[in-house]
Structure 1
Amino acid sequence: MTREFQVQGVPVSELARRYGTPLFVYDGTALRDRFHGLRDRLHPAMEIFYSLKANPNISICALLHSFGARAEVSSLVELTTALRAGVPPQQVIFLGPGKSRQELAACLDSGIHAVVCESIPEVALVDELARERGVKAPVALRVNPRFAVKRSGLAMGGRPRQFGIDEEELFATTDLVKRFPDVDLMGVHVYMGTRILHEAVIVENTTRILDLAERLSAALNLELRMVDVGGGLGVSYFDGESDLDAQVLTDGLHPVIEDFTARHPGTRLIMELGRYLTAEAGTYVMGVRYTKTSMGERFAVADGGTHHHMAAVGIGSFVKRNFPMAVLNRLDEPATEEWNVTGPLCTPGDTIGKKVPLPPVRPGDLIGVHRSGAYGPTASPGLFLSHGYPAEVLVHEGRCHLVRERDSPEDLLQRQRLYDPTAHDAADVPH
């Protein structure tokens, strides 16, 4: 019998029959194991905040919160998602370089733990909003440090960036506490980079961030009640990469955290993780519609593609490499051929895998892109050619849960309005 990919005992063919393809499938057990694999080893003073940007599905957020994760959000919808998923406001922080007045007001009105401000003008706006409400606004300062991250898939600091306030500017602006009386400057945030796969680099970055936070606290005369050391813990996707060893990582972090907490026992320490928690748990499942050969190369034309999974084609990466892929309904057949796996879009860029080693592919096969639980729909142009977003299914404790319905044509059209040249509605005429 041909061996088939299963999620907690549920065959992928059954998932495809029940929910259609393309779809994202998430394994709740893998989410739990990933979270506890780090949480159970990490110093108890370091809290794990789930970065919703990696996968903003409300059920994923709720499940991770049930394991103990807090929430880091970067939009009004993400804030609403976290709160509706059951995350208490005091377990939520909000960051991002271009927050709107509406978003900042929602942060203050909901009573979240901290607004992470990324510029002095943003601090001024929060101060104004807090004064209007008669409250003290909890603010952490995001710092763009002088030092840069090593071996990061995408550097987020240490050079000119839209993120954070330059370290030099903050040390030269020692009157922040006095200038903004309705702001409670209570913490420091530094995020250095993403997809770091070297334990020693994470330990070094954490050490330097904690040192920077202490020096800023002294220079600005702010009470250091929170330090967010970022995250950036990587996931291996490609040949030659290896996953982080959670035990090696936490063994390296433990003395650093222990030393800091001895000096600052009341400081809340935060690590934000998105991709690290969710990537491994997800599989993107596509149905093969056609196969063909063109100028000596094989093509499997599927019903899914880059409009759902731009991360798999290397968005944000300089080198384009294939995510791990397989014919899910025939796992035991050897990969004897090379296939270009493409989608339904009218662009040559809709190639989700190039020269992927696979067994002979047939129409009706199910091709899966593994490690797809992060930056799938959330980082993809789902409206290209008006295909819309796929279904998302969570399998937890052996049961399947549809956690996002597939977009229908009516879903995509319901917010559009047909122009009627005979209508004269004054409400639609700009003044």
Structure 2
Amino acid sequence: MITPLHEEIATRHGTPAFVYDLDAVRRAHADLVAALPRPSTVYYSVKANPHPQIIALLHALGCEAEVSSTGEIDAALGAGVPPEAVLLTGPAKTPETVAHALSRGVTRFSVDSPDDLARVDDLAGRAGVEARCALRVNADEPVPGAGLSMTGTSSQFGADLSWVLAETPRFTGFGHARVTGLHLYMGTNLTDEKDLLAQFEVGIGIAEKLAVLFPDLAEIDLGGGFGLPYARAGERPRFTGLAAALEALLDDRLPAWRDGAPRVSFESGRYLVGDCGVLLSRVVDVKDSKGTRYVLLDTGVHHLGGMSGLRRIPSISADVLTGDENEDASTDAGKDEAEDERVTVAGPLCTPLDVLARGARLPNTGIGDLVSVPNAGAYGPTAGLLAFLGHPAPAEAVVDGGRLESASRLHVTRNPL
């Protein structure tokens, strides 16, 4: 839906523009907390949207921060998250990344192998601190229903469960980096409650088994994978039966969890911020080519979908909405085809791969019209190809309570070494 405030933002700050509504973030956080067992901790996965106001709000709501780079460390700390509430994750953490974290007071790490653990141990020893490490474990069985499976198959993420069981001593005995937790992220973009419960059940089973081998476990991070439509119209799912089912599983497998022994935690990025954002764009040109009508926008795959536009990950098919309809503009087959104008929506890049949607319905669209892409609060500019072809980054506006709070723009620069 294009609102008068969207019109005002587009006029004042230009397009393309991402608009993030903090009220929507609050609603998403409340829904997620209601879907999780109590007590439990939520990590905000900063990769989803590192805008400082979003990080700050989610921390104020009780979230800790999950980060995976020096830039995300600085973003979380700069937004007010204290170092003790930051967890550094990801494979191939370089010595420079680990050292940067330690220099900023971050001492919690997810580790993927004995060598990763040894690297953290060495650098923590040099810094004179103790690092608390969550061992990431790759399950020996795949998780059904995942949009992107991250366990149960050959993976760069984590240590295979069979490896940990067979060679447990390789993951213990470090003087400055102790395994005090497990990191059990299984998959992403799960929208079916049964699939979410199935993956968490696998994780809880692994935790029950490894708790015998790692008696000092203080935290079980069961990951996330809470799904949401991306760049398409649709409601954020509510997982109304998940909390009770998870509490029953935890009571059975890890009976001291209610007393925080261990603490149970979850991660979320897309679910918390995905539906807070819309991408506003202007129509720059409309033309016909060999039987196809094209609507050309001032945004494209460099802003939305990132590498998917270059076929490095599955391509997106965005819903593009007009101010007149404020409804799904690409898939509503209930309309009379005679009233429709089916078009291909493309962007400004010098590549035929810069297509946001084919067969979209944009009736009576003309040059200068404002259109929007819904559910675009996650994986926007920082997941895009901002340096490709050198187009300016889109504006990013934050609204709260129906008022514009801030507007800013990222810049890609080159600095001498």
TM value normalised by structure 1: 0.87
Return 5+ residue gaps in structure 1 as ranges. Answer: 418-427
Partner of 1:170: 164
Report the aligned-residue RMSD. Answer: 2.5
Spell out the pairing of 1:197-212 with structure 2 (5 A cutoff).
197-212=191-206
Q: Counterpart in 2 of 1:290?
A: 285
Identify the residue that residue 218 of structure 2 maps to in structure 1.
Answer: 225
CA contact (8 A) 1:283 1:369 kept: yes
Matched with 1:422 is: none
Residue 87 of structure 1 aligns with which residue?
81
Q: CA deviation at 1:113?
A: 5.7
Distance in structure 2 (CA, Å) of the matches to 1:241 and 1:200: 20
1:350 equivalenced with 2:354 (yes/no): yes
One-letter code aligned to 1:224: L
- Alignment map for 1:131-210 (pairs within 5 Å): 131-176=125-170, 178-210=172-204
Corresponding position: 1:401 with 2:405: yes
Contact 2:107 2:131 in 1 (8 A): no
Q: Deviation per CA, 1:60-99: give whole Å up to 9, x if none.
A: 1112212222110000110111111111222211100011
What corresponds to 1:361 in structure 2? 365
Q: Paired residue for 1:423?
A: none
Distance in 1 between residues matched to 2:204 and 2:234, nearest whole Å: 28
**Aligned equivalents of 1:87 and 1:392: distance in 2?**
21
Conservation of the 8 A alpha-carbon contact between 2:307 and 2:384: no
The residue type paired with residue 284 of structure 1 is: L
| Counterpart position of 1:279 | 274
Change (3 A) 1:260 1:93: farther
Q: Structure 1 residue 237: deviation in Å? A: 4.5
Distance in 1, Cα, partners of 2:307 & 2:91: 26
1:334-372 Cα offsets, whole Å, 9 max, x none, are 872211111111101111111112222100111211111
Q: How far apart are 1:154 and its partner, in Å?
A: 0.6
Q: How far is the alpha carbon of 1:258 from its aligned partner? A: 4.0
Q: Which residue of 1 aligns with 2:21?
A: 27
Query: Which residue pairs with 1:425 in the alignment?
Result: none
Q: Does 1:5 align with 2:9?
A: no
CA contact (8 A) 2:233 2:319 kept: no
Q: TM-score if structure 2 supplies the norm length?
A: 0.90
Q: What is the DSSP-based 3-state SS (H/G/I as helix, E as strand, rest coil) of the residue aligned with 1:179?
A: coil
d(CA) in 1 for partners of 2:108, 2:235? 34
**Distance change >3 Å, CA 153–CA 316, structure 1 → 2:** farther
Q: Report if aligned partners of 1:188, 1:228 keep a CA contact under 8 Å in 2.
A: yes
Q: How far, CA to CA, are the matches of 1:298 and 1:339 in structure 2?
A: 5
Q: Counterpart of 2:59 in structure 1: which amino acid?
A: H
SS of the residue 1:40 aligns to: helix
- SS of alignment partner, residue 212 of structure 2: helix
Per the alignment, residue 105 of structure 1 pairs with: 99
Structure 1 residues 316 and 46: CA distance shift in structure 2, 3 A: farther
Deviates more, 1:126-135 or 1:73-82: 126-135
Q: Who is 2:305 aligned against?
A: 310
CA distance in 2, matches of 1:391, 1:363: 20
Count the aligned residue pairs: 405
d(CA) in 1 for partners of 2:256 and 2:75? 36
1:201-256: CA deviation from partner (whole Å, max 9, x where unpaired): 1112112212211211212x341101111101111359998753321333332322
Q: CA, structure 1 residues 157+177, in 2 after alignment: closer, same or farther (shift >3 Å)?
A: closer
Structure-1 separation of matches of 2:410 and 2:137: 40
The one-letter code sitting in structure 1 at the alignment partner of 2:318 is: F
